[in-house]
């Protein structure tokens, strides 16, 4: 399996879930970026588990993706802003929309 570096929070999440499911695998390579991980899979160096937001990196590449259903893994989303700065006009409304959307999405997906 092509993995991200051990310091990557995404890889740490994958590793925890694989360990919880008692899945053993052999590391075939380590990448620092999701794009590199997908490129190594395309080069037939192995397979990878990536977060769903990385699926856009698969577009136009000679790879196939499938959703993992056992175990289902959820990720937290965080809002970050520059310290000491106020958000531009309309940003708070957009953030509230996203918050409401994610809560509804998680409820519909059965992960809330």
pLDDT in tens, 6-28: 999 888 888 888 888 888 888 88
Q: In whole angstroms, what is the distance from residue 93 CA to residue 106 CA?
A: 20
Q: Which of 3-7, 73-77, 79-83, 98-102 has the lowest mean pLDDT?
A: 73-77
Element (H, E) at 105: helix 91-109
Whole-model pTM? 0.65
Q: What is the CA radius of gyration of the chain?
A: 17
Residue 74 has pLDDT above 70, yes or no: no
Q: What is the mean pLDDT of the chain?
A: 83
């Amino acid at each position: 399996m092509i993995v991200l570096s051990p310091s990557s929070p995404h890889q740490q999440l994958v590793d925890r879930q694989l360990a919880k499911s008692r899945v053993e695998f052999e590391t075939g390579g380590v990448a620092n970026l999701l794009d590199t991980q997908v490129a190594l899979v395309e080069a037939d160096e192995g397979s990878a588990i990536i977060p769903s937001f990385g699926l856009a990196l698969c577009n136009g590449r000679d790879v196939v993706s499938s959703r993992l259903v056992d175990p289902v893994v959820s990720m937290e989303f965080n809002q970050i802003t520059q310290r000491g700065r106020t958000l531009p006009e309309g940003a708070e409304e957009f953030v509230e929309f996203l918050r409401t959307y994610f809560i509804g999405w998680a409820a519909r997906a059965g992960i809330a």
